[in-house]
């Protein structure tokens, strides 16, 4: 009788935990991604705040979210929320680009095409081709 109650209790707990996951309890990664976008672009509750966007986007990017990784790259590239850092921007764009993020692919083209290093210029061509294959409009406009 007691083992049957234990089994029933465990089954009920499992059902409740799964129900919570489906009915509004967001993961840390989801919360970080939401705040990343909210502080980068603003929403009804939050004004644009690049310092907070920088923090939240880093949190989300560490979870592997390609959109957040591209936003971290953008924030580094433009110097929003911190110092302008093309090396860090390229690292974050690379993480997103390898997941198929077209804007990140295009931004790697932009960064590497300015380099004097022949290897980076070759990478620039590769990332431009990837962005074109993704149908990214800005990449399609490059002669």
pTM (two decimals): 0.78
Same domain flag for 90 and 117: no
- Judged by phi (left if over 0) then psi (alpha if -120 to 50, else beta), residue 117 lies in beta
Tally the domains of the chain: 2
**Percent above pLDDT 70 for the chain:** 83
Residues 62, 71, 116: CA angle, nearest 5 degrees? 100
Same domain flag for 69 and 105: no
Q: Rounded to 5 degrees, what are φ and ψ at 67? A: -65, -45
Same domain flag for 15 and 56: yes
Same domain flag for 22 and 71: yes
Same domain flag for 94 and 26: yes
Sequence length of the chain is 143
Same domain flag for 23 and 62: yes
Q: What are the tens digits of pLDDT across the range 59-117?
A: 999 999 999 999 999 999 999 988 899 999 999 999 999 999 999 999 999 999 999 99
Same domain flag for 113 and 95: no
Same domain flag for 32 and 84: yes
Which band of pLDDT confidence, cut at 50, 70 and 90, is reported for residue 45? Answer: confident
Location of structure tokens 């302008």: 84
Residues 56, 61, 66: CA angle, nearest 5 degrees? 125
Q: Give the per-residue pLDDT at 141.
A: 96
Give the domain extent around 72: 2-99
| Whole-angstrom distance, CA of residue 19 vs CA of residue 115 | 52
Same domain flag for 43 and 94: yes
Same domain flag for 48 and 60: yes
């Amino acid at each position: 009788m007691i083992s049957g109650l234990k089994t029933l209790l465990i089954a009920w707990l499992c059902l409740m935990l799964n129900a919570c996951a489906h009915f509004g309890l967001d993961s840390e990664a989801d919360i970080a991604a939401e705040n990343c976008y909210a502080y980068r672009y603003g929403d009804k509750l939050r004004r644009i705040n690049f310092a907070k966007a920088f923090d939240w986007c880093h949190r989300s990017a560490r979870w592997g979210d390609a959109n957040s990784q591209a936003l971290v790259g953008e924030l580094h590239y433009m110097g929003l929320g911190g110092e302008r850092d093309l090396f860090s921007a390229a690292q974050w764009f690379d993480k997103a680009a390898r997941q198929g993020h077209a804007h990140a692919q295009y931004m790697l083209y932009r960064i590497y095409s300015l380099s004097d290093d022949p290897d980076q210029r070759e990478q620039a061509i590769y990332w431009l081709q990837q962005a074109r294959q993704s149908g990214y409009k800005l990449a399609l406009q490059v002669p």
